Amino acid sequence: MITKLYTSKEIKHSLSAKEIGGKTITVIGDSIPKGLYLQNNRICRIERGAVANIAERLHLHIENFSVFGQTLKKCVLKGHFERWLQEHSDSHDRLVISLGGNDCDYAWEEVAKNPLAEHSPHTPLPEFENILFSLIAMLKSHGIRPIFTSLPPIDSKRYFENVICTRADRESILQFFRGDITNISRHQECYNAAILKAALSRGCPFLDYRSDLLLQKDYLSFLSDDGIHPNQKGHDFIADFICRRFPSAARGAAV
């Protein structure tokens, strides 16, 4: 078990501008770096997502291979990371991994059928942790130090009301939660903590925009109505957070 406590300095300043300048950056992620969200059970797109915003402001070439509903487990099983290594071997390009939110989600229709039974998320937490450590070991064996991002904070109430209850019976899901829908945000927090521990214990940068969002007194105003995806204000906040980490690159300085 990892017991080391990490300071905010370790979390926020674990990647220098020199490490990103002049390189292609690949983002492998889910709907959040893709700039998508749910509204009335339809997939919608943010007008200007954080990835495009960062690329423009930091003068970076970013390949965004993010997909709605993507999980870390699927990416590993489909060999996405091995293919990235083959295509970027000896390039010194950087890999950003922004995954985990869908790994911790459930098949709510199945849960509603038997709410008092044991149900596993798409990737159970112990398996998720094992995948993280194995993936980091594999990438580092090829000289790649992946960059991880935090998961955004979520609003259990909005996600329950506006997403889960459109897919499954409300009362059955409440039975599964034993009447406490804050299980949603607490469960997701465990996956964010797993990413943080795996990244920092293995010397990988971790971009923790989550903590800064949680410190905003009105952080719910940064989330879409689905309660899990940042809205335009949230994407702007994430872009500002990351650009502040690399001020020399943002000025276009030689790095």
Q: Is the pLDDT of residue 10 over 80?
A: no
Give the chain's mean pLDDT. 88
pLDDT value at residue 9: 41
pLDDT at 207 over 60: yes
pLDDT in the model for residue 247:
58
Q: pLDDT tens digit string along 83-120?
A: 999 998 777 789 999 999 999 999 999 999 999 999 99
Judge if pTM exceeds 0.85: yes
Structure tokens at 44: 């919608």
Nearest CA among 110, 105, 96, 45 for reference residue 70: 105
Determine the Cα–Cα distance for residues 232 and 225; give it in Å rounded to an integer. 12
pLDDT of the residue at 211: 96
Q: What pLDDT is stored for residue 17 in this prediction?
A: 47
> pLDDT > 90: what percent of the chain?
78
44 close to 37: Cβ distance less than 8 angstroms: yes
- One-letter amino acid for residue 115 of the chain: P
Maximal C-alpha separation, the chain: 59
Q: How confident is the model at residue 21 (pLDDT cuts 50, 70, 90)?
A: low
Residue 71, pLDDT score: 98
Residue in this structure with the two tokens 């702007």, named with its chain if needed: 236
Please tell me the predicted confidence (pLDDT) of residue 254: 28
Q: What is the pLDDT of residue 92?
A: 74
**CA-to-CA distance for 200 and 198, rounded, in angstroms?**
6
Give the chain as a DSSP string: -------HHHHHTSS-GGGTTTSEEEEEE-HHHHTEEEETTEEEE-SS-HHHHHHHHHT-EEEEEE-TT--HHHHHHTTHHHHHHHHTTTS--EEEEE--TTTT---HHHHHHSTTS----SS-HHHHHHHHHHHHHHHHHTT---EEEPPPP--HHHHIIIIIHHHS-HHHHHHHTTT-TTHHHHHHHHHHHHHHHHHHHTT--EE-HHHHHHTSTTGGGGB-TTSSSB-HHHHHHHHHHHHHH-HHHHTT---
What integer is the mean pLDDT of 24-50? 90
Which percentage of the chain shows pLDDT scores above 70? 88
Architecture of domain 8-250: 3-Layer(aba) Sandwich (3.40)
CB 81 within 8 A of CB 130: no
Distance CA 104, CA 184 (A): 9
Neighbours of 212 (CB within 10 A): 17
**195 residue type, one letter:** I
Average of per-residue pLDDT across 34-49: 86
